[in-house]
Amino acid sequence: MTASTVAPAVSAPVAAGERVAVLDGIRGVAVLGILLINIDALSGYAFTPASAHTILRNETADAVTWFLLATLVEAKFYSLFSFLFGVGFAVFVQRASARGADAAGLFKRRLLGLLLIGLIHTLLIWFGDILVTYALLGFVLVPFLRRDDRSVLRWAVAMLVTPIVLYGLLFAAAGQPAQPVATDAGGELPPILATATQSFSHGTYLQVLSGNVVFTVANVVRRLLLMFFPRVIGMFLLGFYAGRNNVFGRIGEYRRLARNTLVTGVAIGLPLALAAYSLGDHAMGPPTSLGLLETVIKSIGVPLLALGYAAGLWLLFSRAPQLMALLAPVGRMALSNYLMHSVAGVVIFYGIGFGLFGRLSLTAAAAGALAFFILQVFLSRWWLRRARFGPAEWLWRMFTYRRRIPLFGAE
Protein backbone atom coordinates (compact mmCIF):
# COMPACT_ATOMS: atom_id res chain seq x y z
CA MET A 1 0.00 0.00 0.00
CA THR A 2 1.48 3.31 -1.03
CA ALA A 3 0.24 6.56 0.47
CA SER A 4 0.33 9.78 -1.46
CA THR A 5 0.77 13.22 -0.02
CA VAL A 6 -1.64 16.01 -0.80
CA ALA A 7 -2.50 19.40 0.60
CA PRO A 8 -3.46 19.29 4.30
CA ALA A 9 -6.94 20.59 3.51
CA VAL A 10 -7.85 17.18 2.07
CA SER A 11 -7.16 15.48 5.39
CA ALA A 12 -10.10 15.20 7.74
CA PRO A 13 -11.21 13.09 10.69
CA VAL A 14 -13.69 10.28 10.24
CA ALA A 15 -17.23 11.60 10.05
CA ALA A 16 -19.90 10.04 12.24
CA GLY A 17 -21.67 8.54 9.25
CA GLU A 18 -18.49 6.74 8.16
CA ARG A 19 -17.96 4.89 11.45
CA VAL A 20 -18.58 1.17 11.89
CA ALA A 21 -21.02 1.33 14.80
CA VAL A 22 -20.33 -2.21 16.01
CA LEU A 23 -16.69 -1.27 16.69
CA ASP A 24 -17.83 1.64 18.85
CA GLY A 25 -20.16 -0.71 20.73
CA ILE A 26 -17.40 -3.24 21.40
CA ARG A 27 -15.04 -0.44 22.36
CA GLY A 28 -17.65 0.82 24.83
CA VAL A 29 -17.75 -2.57 26.56
CA ALA A 30 -13.94 -2.61 26.61
CA VAL A 31 -14.01 0.76 28.43
CA LEU A 32 -16.07 -0.90 31.17
CA GLY A 33 -13.69 -3.85 31.40
CA ILE A 34 -10.65 -1.61 31.77
CA LEU A 35 -12.36 0.45 34.48
CA LEU A 36 -13.28 -2.70 36.43
CA ILE A 37 -9.76 -4.07 36.44
CA ASN A 38 -8.16 -0.68 37.15
CA ILE A 39 -10.41 0.02 40.13
CA ASP A 40 -8.32 -2.35 42.25
CA ALA A 41 -5.33 -0.01 42.06
CA LEU A 42 -7.16 3.27 41.53
CA SER A 43 -9.16 2.84 44.73
CA GLY A 44 -6.08 1.80 46.71
CA TYR A 45 -7.45 -1.65 47.52
CA ALA A 46 -4.40 -3.31 45.95
CA PHE A 47 -1.96 -1.38 48.15
CA THR A 48 -3.57 -1.53 51.59
CA PRO A 49 -4.09 -4.33 54.14
CA ALA A 50 -7.49 -5.99 54.50
CA SER A 51 -7.99 -4.27 57.87
CA ALA A 52 -8.14 -0.90 56.09
CA HIS A 53 -11.07 -1.88 53.85
CA THR A 54 -13.72 -0.91 56.36
CA ILE A 55 -16.45 0.42 54.03
CA LEU A 56 -18.87 -2.42 53.16
CA ARG A 57 -16.23 -4.94 54.16
CA ASN A 58 -17.04 -8.53 53.24
CA GLU A 59 -14.06 -10.78 52.66
CA THR A 60 -16.13 -13.54 51.03
CA ALA A 61 -17.70 -11.11 48.58
CA ASP A 62 -14.28 -9.62 47.83
CA ALA A 63 -12.85 -13.07 47.14
CA VAL A 64 -15.67 -13.79 44.69
CA THR A 65 -15.27 -10.36 43.08
CA TRP A 66 -11.54 -10.85 42.61
CA PHE A 67 -12.08 -14.34 41.18
CA LEU A 68 -14.48 -12.94 38.58
CA LEU A 69 -12.20 -10.02 37.73
CA ALA A 70 -9.08 -12.19 37.52
CA THR A 71 -10.63 -14.88 35.34
CA LEU A 72 -12.97 -12.84 33.11
CA VAL A 73 -11.51 -9.33 32.97
CA GLU A 74 -7.83 -9.05 33.90
CA ALA A 75 -5.60 -8.87 30.77
CA LYS A 76 -8.52 -9.90 28.54
CA PHE A 77 -9.90 -6.40 28.09
CA TYR A 78 -6.49 -4.84 27.53
CA SER A 79 -6.02 -7.50 24.86
CA LEU A 80 -9.43 -6.64 23.42
CA PHE A 81 -8.54 -2.94 23.40
CA SER A 82 -5.22 -3.74 21.73
CA PHE A 83 -7.08 -5.67 19.06
CA LEU A 84 -9.45 -2.74 18.53
CA PHE A 85 -6.46 -0.40 18.31
CA GLY A 86 -5.18 -2.48 15.40
CA VAL A 87 -8.59 -2.41 13.74
CA GLY A 88 -8.65 1.36 14.18
CA PHE A 89 -5.22 1.64 12.57
CA ALA A 90 -6.46 -0.20 9.48
CA VAL A 91 -9.61 1.91 9.26
CA PHE A 92 -7.63 5.12 9.74
CA VAL A 93 -5.10 4.44 6.98
CA GLN A 94 -7.73 3.17 4.55
CA ARG A 95 -9.84 6.29 4.92
CA ALA A 96 -6.88 8.65 4.90
CA SER A 97 -5.57 7.01 1.73
CA ALA A 98 -9.02 7.22 0.13
CA ARG A 99 -8.94 10.99 0.74
CA GLY A 100 -5.54 11.19 -0.92
CA ALA A 101 -3.71 11.99 2.31
CA ASP A 102 -0.37 10.68 3.59
CA ALA A 103 -1.86 7.91 5.72
CA ALA A 104 1.40 6.75 7.32
CA GLY A 105 2.47 10.32 8.11
CA LEU A 106 -0.89 11.18 9.64
CA PHE A 107 -0.88 8.02 11.73
CA LYS A 108 2.59 8.79 13.08
CA ARG A 109 1.42 12.26 14.09
CA ARG A 110 -1.66 10.67 15.64
CA LEU A 111 0.63 8.45 17.71
CA LEU A 112 2.66 11.46 18.82
CA GLY A 113 -0.55 13.11 19.99
CA LEU A 114 -1.53 9.98 21.90
CA LEU A 115 1.93 9.89 23.46
CA LEU A 116 1.55 13.46 24.72
CA ILE A 117 -1.86 12.69 26.17
CA GLY A 118 -0.50 9.55 27.79
CA LEU A 119 2.43 11.36 29.38
CA ILE A 120 0.11 14.01 30.78
CA HIS A 121 -2.15 11.26 32.08
CA THR A 122 0.50 9.09 33.74
CA LEU A 123 2.54 11.94 35.24
CA LEU A 124 -0.11 14.50 36.18
CA ILE A 125 -3.21 12.39 36.88
CA TRP A 126 -2.86 8.63 37.44
CA PHE A 127 0.10 6.30 36.95
CA GLY A 128 -1.89 3.32 35.63
CA ASP A 129 -1.66 4.54 32.05
CA ILE A 130 -1.75 2.39 28.89
CA LEU A 131 -1.75 5.21 26.33
CA VAL A 132 2.03 5.71 26.33
CA THR A 133 2.52 2.00 25.65
CA TYR A 134 0.00 2.05 22.81
CA ALA A 135 1.54 5.18 21.30
CA LEU A 136 5.10 3.86 21.31
CA LEU A 137 4.23 0.34 20.16
CA GLY A 138 1.89 1.76 17.54
CA PHE A 139 4.90 2.78 15.45
CA VAL A 140 5.61 -0.92 14.95
CA LEU A 141 2.43 -1.13 12.85
CA VAL A 142 3.56 1.30 10.16
CA PRO A 143 5.93 -1.08 8.28
CA PHE A 144 3.09 -3.61 8.01
CA LEU A 145 1.23 -1.31 5.63
CA ARG A 146 3.30 -2.89 2.88
CA ARG A 147 3.04 -6.48 4.15
CA ASP A 148 0.48 -8.95 2.83
CA ASP A 149 -2.12 -10.59 5.04
CA ARG A 150 -0.18 -13.82 5.44
CA SER A 151 2.86 -11.94 6.71
CA VAL A 152 0.74 -9.92 9.13
CA LEU A 153 -0.79 -13.09 10.60
CA ARG A 154 2.58 -14.80 10.87
CA TRP A 155 4.04 -11.87 12.77
CA ALA A 156 0.94 -11.68 14.99
CA VAL A 157 1.33 -15.32 16.00
CA ALA A 158 5.09 -14.87 16.44
CA MET A 159 4.54 -11.93 18.81
CA LEU A 160 1.93 -13.80 20.83
CA VAL A 161 4.23 -16.80 21.36
CA THR A 162 7.32 -14.67 22.01
CA PRO A 163 6.72 -14.62 25.81
CA ILE A 164 6.70 -18.43 25.83
CA VAL A 165 9.95 -18.60 23.88
CA LEU A 166 11.67 -15.95 26.00
CA TYR A 167 10.55 -17.44 29.30
CA GLY A 168 11.53 -20.90 28.11
CA LEU A 169 15.03 -19.66 27.25
CA LEU A 170 15.35 -17.96 30.65
CA PHE A 171 14.15 -21.11 32.39
CA ALA A 172 16.59 -23.29 30.46
CA ALA A 173 19.46 -20.91 31.23
CA ALA A 174 18.64 -20.54 34.93
CA GLY A 175 17.70 -24.13 35.69
CA GLN A 176 14.74 -25.16 37.81
CA PRO A 177 14.79 -24.17 41.49
CA ALA A 178 14.03 -27.00 43.89
CA GLN A 179 10.96 -25.28 45.29
CA PRO A 180 9.33 -22.75 42.94
CA VAL A 181 7.45 -20.18 44.95
CA ALA A 182 4.64 -17.97 43.69
CA THR A 183 5.02 -14.24 43.97
CA ASP A 184 2.70 -12.88 46.66
CA ALA A 185 0.83 -10.10 44.91
CA GLY A 186 -0.64 -9.04 48.24
CA GLY A 187 2.72 -8.88 50.06
CA GLU A 188 4.58 -5.81 51.22
CA LEU A 189 5.55 -3.25 48.62
CA PRO A 190 9.17 -2.16 48.16
CA PRO A 191 9.83 0.91 50.34
CA ILE A 192 9.90 3.35 47.42
CA LEU A 193 6.47 2.15 46.23
CA ALA A 194 5.08 2.09 49.77
CA THR A 195 6.10 5.74 50.19
CA ALA A 196 4.41 6.59 46.89
CA THR A 197 1.14 4.98 47.98
CA GLN A 198 1.25 7.04 51.15
CA SER A 199 1.37 10.17 49.02
CA PHE A 200 -1.74 8.99 47.19
CA SER A 201 -3.68 8.42 50.40
CA HIS A 202 -2.83 11.66 52.23
CA GLY A 203 -0.10 13.57 50.39
CA THR A 204 -0.09 16.91 48.64
CA TYR A 205 -0.50 17.17 44.89
CA LEU A 206 3.27 17.58 44.45
CA GLN A 207 3.76 14.35 46.41
CA VAL A 208 1.17 12.66 44.20
CA LEU A 209 3.16 13.75 41.14
CA SER A 210 6.30 12.22 42.64
CA GLY A 211 4.41 9.00 43.32
CA ASN A 212 3.15 8.95 39.75
CA VAL A 213 6.71 9.11 38.44
CA VAL A 214 7.79 6.23 40.70
CA PHE A 215 4.87 4.02 39.74
CA THR A 216 5.17 4.88 36.05
CA VAL A 217 8.73 3.58 36.06
CA ALA A 218 7.69 0.55 38.11
CA ASN A 219 4.94 -0.22 35.60
CA VAL A 220 7.44 -0.24 32.73
CA VAL A 221 9.63 -2.70 34.64
CA ARG A 222 6.65 -4.86 35.54
CA ARG A 223 5.44 -5.00 31.94
CA LEU A 224 8.91 -5.93 30.76
CA LEU A 225 9.11 -8.77 33.29
CA LEU A 226 5.65 -10.00 32.31
CA MET A 227 6.58 -9.72 28.60
CA PHE A 228 3.52 -7.58 28.07
CA PHE A 229 4.75 -5.66 25.04
CA PRO A 230 4.99 -8.47 22.44
CA ARG A 231 1.47 -9.55 23.40
CA VAL A 232 0.18 -6.06 22.70
CA ILE A 233 1.91 -6.00 19.31
CA GLY A 234 0.43 -9.40 18.47
CA MET A 235 -3.10 -8.19 19.20
CA PHE A 236 -2.42 -4.97 17.26
CA LEU A 237 -1.55 -7.07 14.22
CA LEU A 238 -4.57 -9.35 14.54
CA GLY A 239 -6.76 -6.25 14.71
CA PHE A 240 -4.97 -4.73 11.72
CA TYR A 241 -5.66 -7.89 9.72
CA ALA A 242 -9.35 -7.84 10.70
CA GLY A 243 -9.68 -4.14 9.96
CA ARG A 244 -7.88 -4.31 6.63
CA ASN A 245 -10.30 -7.04 5.51
CA ASN A 246 -13.31 -5.08 6.84
CA VAL A 247 -14.41 -8.06 8.93
CA PHE A 248 -16.64 -5.99 11.21
CA GLY A 249 -18.34 -4.29 8.29
CA ARG A 250 -19.40 -7.61 6.70
CA ILE A 251 -21.35 -9.48 9.34
CA GLY A 252 -23.26 -11.54 6.79
CA GLU A 253 -20.11 -12.84 5.17
CA TYR A 254 -18.19 -13.46 8.38
CA ARG A 255 -20.96 -14.63 10.70
CA ARG A 256 -19.69 -18.23 10.70
CA LEU A 257 -16.17 -17.02 11.50
CA ALA A 258 -17.57 -14.97 14.40
CA ARG A 259 -19.45 -17.99 15.77
CA ASN A 260 -16.40 -20.22 15.50
CA THR A 261 -14.24 -17.58 17.18
CA LEU A 262 -16.74 -17.21 20.00
CA VAL A 263 -16.98 -20.95 20.60
CA THR A 264 -13.24 -21.50 20.38
CA GLY A 265 -12.41 -18.48 22.50
CA VAL A 266 -14.74 -19.49 25.32
CA ALA A 267 -14.17 -23.25 25.09
CA ILE A 268 -10.39 -22.90 25.32
CA GLY A 269 -9.82 -19.44 26.76
CA LEU A 270 -12.13 -19.73 29.77
CA PRO A 271 -10.70 -23.05 31.10
CA LEU A 272 -7.21 -21.64 30.64
CA ALA A 273 -8.22 -18.51 32.55
CA LEU A 274 -9.43 -20.72 35.40
CA ALA A 275 -6.19 -22.68 35.28
CA ALA A 276 -4.14 -19.47 35.39
CA TYR A 277 -6.11 -18.30 38.42
CA SER A 278 -5.51 -21.58 40.23
CA LEU A 279 -1.76 -21.40 39.54
CA GLY A 280 -1.31 -17.99 41.13
CA ASP A 281 1.35 -15.50 40.06
CA HIS A 282 4.69 -17.17 39.28
CA ALA A 283 5.80 -15.23 36.21
CA MET A 284 7.17 -12.26 38.18
CA GLY A 285 9.72 -14.29 40.12
CA PRO A 286 12.79 -16.25 39.02
CA PRO A 287 12.11 -18.64 36.11
CA THR A 288 10.40 -21.83 37.28
CA SER A 289 8.47 -24.66 35.69
CA LEU A 290 5.24 -23.23 37.09
CA GLY A 291 6.14 -19.81 35.71
CA LEU A 292 6.69 -21.36 32.30
CA LEU A 293 3.34 -23.15 32.54
CA GLU A 294 1.62 -19.91 33.55
CA THR A 295 3.25 -18.07 30.62
CA VAL A 296 2.06 -20.73 28.16
CA ILE A 297 -1.47 -20.70 29.57
CA LYS A 298 -1.79 -16.92 29.49
CA SER A 299 -0.16 -16.51 26.09
CA ILE A 300 -2.75 -18.84 24.60
CA GLY A 301 -5.80 -18.26 26.77
CA VAL A 302 -5.86 -14.46 27.07
CA PRO A 303 -5.87 -13.69 23.30
CA LEU A 304 -8.40 -16.45 22.60
CA LEU A 305 -10.82 -15.23 25.25
CA ALA A 306 -10.39 -11.60 24.14
CA LEU A 307 -11.16 -12.58 20.54
CA GLY A 308 -14.10 -14.62 21.81
CA TYR A 309 -15.42 -11.51 23.56
CA ALA A 310 -15.05 -9.47 20.36
CA ALA A 311 -16.88 -12.09 18.30
CA GLY A 312 -19.60 -12.57 20.91
CA LEU A 313 -20.27 -8.85 21.19
CA TRP A 314 -20.31 -8.54 17.40
CA LEU A 315 -22.95 -11.27 17.15
CA LEU A 316 -24.92 -9.83 20.06
CA PHE A 317 -24.98 -6.34 18.58
CA SER A 318 -26.07 -7.66 15.19
CA ARG A 319 -29.18 -9.01 16.91
CA ALA A 320 -29.60 -6.22 19.44
CA PRO A 321 -28.93 -2.93 17.61
CA GLN A 322 -30.61 -0.96 20.42
CA LEU A 323 -28.01 -2.22 22.88
CA MET A 324 -25.26 -1.35 20.44
CA ALA A 325 -26.70 2.14 19.99
CA LEU A 326 -26.72 2.56 23.79
CA LEU A 327 -23.05 1.61 24.20
CA ALA A 328 -21.60 3.03 20.98
CA PRO A 329 -21.35 6.63 22.27
CA VAL A 330 -19.09 5.40 25.09
CA GLY A 331 -16.85 3.82 22.47
CA ARG A 332 -16.90 6.88 20.23
CA MET A 333 -15.38 8.91 23.04
CA ALA A 334 -13.40 6.06 24.62
CA LEU A 335 -10.33 8.23 25.20
CA SER A 336 -12.31 10.90 27.05
CA ASN A 337 -14.10 8.27 29.13
CA TYR A 338 -10.83 6.50 29.94
CA LEU A 339 -9.27 9.75 31.15
CA MET A 340 -12.44 10.55 33.07
CA HIS A 341 -11.97 7.31 35.05
CA SER A 342 -8.64 8.57 36.34
CA VAL A 343 -9.79 12.10 37.10
CA ALA A 344 -12.86 10.86 38.99
CA GLY A 345 -10.81 8.20 40.78
CA VAL A 346 -8.23 10.71 42.01
CA VAL A 347 -10.99 13.04 43.22
CA ILE A 348 -12.87 10.27 45.00
CA PHE A 349 -10.04 8.19 46.46
CA TYR A 350 -6.90 10.31 46.86
CA GLY A 351 -6.07 12.44 49.84
CA ILE A 352 -6.26 15.58 47.70
CA GLY A 353 -9.91 14.65 47.11
CA PHE A 354 -12.37 12.81 49.34
CA GLY A 355 -9.71 10.57 50.85
CA LEU A 356 -11.27 7.11 50.39
CA PHE A 357 -7.97 5.54 49.30
CA GLY A 358 -7.84 1.94 50.49
CA ARG A 359 -11.00 2.21 52.58
CA LEU A 360 -13.52 0.55 50.27
CA SER A 361 -13.90 -3.18 49.87
CA LEU A 362 -13.14 -4.49 46.39
CA THR A 363 -16.80 -5.36 45.89
CA ALA A 364 -17.90 -1.85 46.83
CA ALA A 365 -15.26 -0.30 44.57
CA ALA A 366 -16.28 -2.53 41.64
CA ALA A 367 -19.96 -1.72 42.20
CA GLY A 368 -19.10 1.96 42.23
CA ALA A 369 -17.13 1.54 39.01
CA LEU A 370 -20.13 -0.10 37.34
CA ALA A 371 -22.39 2.72 38.50
CA PHE A 372 -19.92 5.28 37.16
CA PHE A 373 -19.85 3.51 33.80
CA ILE A 374 -23.65 3.64 33.60
CA LEU A 375 -23.37 7.38 34.22
CA GLN A 376 -20.85 7.57 31.37
CA VAL A 377 -23.28 5.76 29.04
CA PHE A 378 -25.84 8.52 29.45
CA LEU A 379 -23.30 11.34 29.64
CA SER A 380 -21.63 10.17 26.41
CA ARG A 381 -24.96 10.00 24.64
CA TRP A 382 -25.92 13.46 25.89
CA TRP A 383 -22.55 14.93 24.87
CA LEU A 384 -22.48 13.46 21.36
CA ARG A 385 -25.96 14.77 20.63
CA ARG A 386 -24.39 18.20 20.91
CA ALA A 387 -20.76 17.68 19.89
CA ARG A 388 -18.99 15.93 17.05
CA PHE A 389 -16.33 14.30 19.25
CA GLY A 390 -15.42 13.70 22.85
CA PRO A 391 -13.30 16.51 24.34
CA ALA A 392 -10.05 14.51 24.34
CA GLU A 393 -10.76 13.10 20.88
CA TRP A 394 -11.31 16.63 19.60
CA LEU A 395 -7.93 17.85 20.86
CA TRP A 396 -6.27 14.69 19.54
CA ARG A 397 -7.74 15.23 16.08
CA MET A 398 -6.68 18.84 15.90
CA PHE A 399 -3.12 17.81 16.79
CA THR A 400 -3.21 15.06 14.15
CA TYR A 401 -4.56 17.21 11.30
CA ARG A 402 -2.81 20.43 12.40
CA ARG A 403 -5.85 22.61 11.93
CA ARG A 404 -8.82 23.84 13.88
CA ILE A 405 -11.78 21.44 13.80
CA PRO A 406 -15.20 22.61 15.04
CA LEU A 407 -16.36 20.72 18.09
CA PHE A 408 -20.02 21.68 17.83
CA GLY A 409 -22.16 21.76 14.69
CA ALA A 410 -21.13 21.01 11.12
CA GLU A 411 -17.66 21.76 9.84
At 408, is the secondary structure helix, strand, or coil?
strand
Helices (H), 43-190: 59-68, 76-98, 103-120, 131-138, 149-174
Give pLDDT tens digits for 199-214: 999 999 999 999 999 9
223: confidence class by pLDDT, cuts 50, 70, 90: very high
Contact 216, 283 (CB under 8 A): no
pLDDT confidence of residue 284: 72
Q: Using 50, 70 and 90 to split pLDDT, how confident is the model at 328? A: very high
Q: How far is CA 48 from the centre of its chain?
A: 24
Residue-wise pLDDT tens digits, 135-180: 999 999 999 999 999 999 999 999 999 999 999 999 888 865 544 4
Is the confidence at residue 182, as pLDDT, over 80? Answer: no
C-beta separation of 34 from 78 below 8 A: yes
Output the CA torsion 10→250→20→7 (10° steps): -10
307, containing H or E segment = helix 289-319
Lowest-pLDDT range, 224-228, 328-332, 395-399? 224-228
pLDDT at site 8? 31
List CB contacts of 285: < 8 A, sequence separation 6 or more.
180, 181, 182, 183, 291
What is the distance between the alpha carbons of residues 200 and 195, in angstroms, rounded to a whole number? 9
% of residues, the chain, pLDDT over 70: 91
Compute how many other C-beta atoms are within 10 angstroms of the C-beta atom of residue 18: 10
Rounded to whole angstroms, the Cα distance separating 38 from 40 reads 5
The phi and psi torsions of 333 (rounded to 5 degrees) equal -120, 45
For the whole model, what pTM was predicted? Answer: 0.90
Residue 411, pLDDT score? 53
Residues 6 or more apart in contact with residue 192 via CB below 8 angstroms? 214
- The pLDDT, as a whole number, for residue 57 is 84
Rounded CA separation 270/250 (Å): 27
Confidence band (pLDDT; 50, 70, 90) for 190?
Answer: confident
User: Which pLDDT does position 178 carry in this prediction?
Assistant: 42
Contacts of 34 (CB under 8 A, 6+ apart): 77, 78, 81, 130, 338, 341
Q: What is the pLDDT of residue 11?
A: 38
Q: How far apart are the first and last CA of the chain?
A: 30
Q: Please name the helix (run of DSSP H) or strand (run of DSSP E) that holds residue 403, with its range, or none.
A: none
Would residue 227 be called left, alpha or beta, if left means φ above 0 and alpha means ψ between -120 and 50 degrees? left
Residue 379, CB-side half-sphere exposure with 13 Å CA sphere: 13
Handedness of CA 224, 226, 227, 228 (dihedral sign): negative
* CB-count exposure of residue 57 (10 Å: 0-12, 13-18, 19+): middle
Contact by Cβ (8 Å): 18, 103: no
Q: For 179, which DSSP code? A: S
pLDDT band at 60 (very low <50, low <70, confident <90, very high): very high
pLDDT at residue 245 tops 50: yes
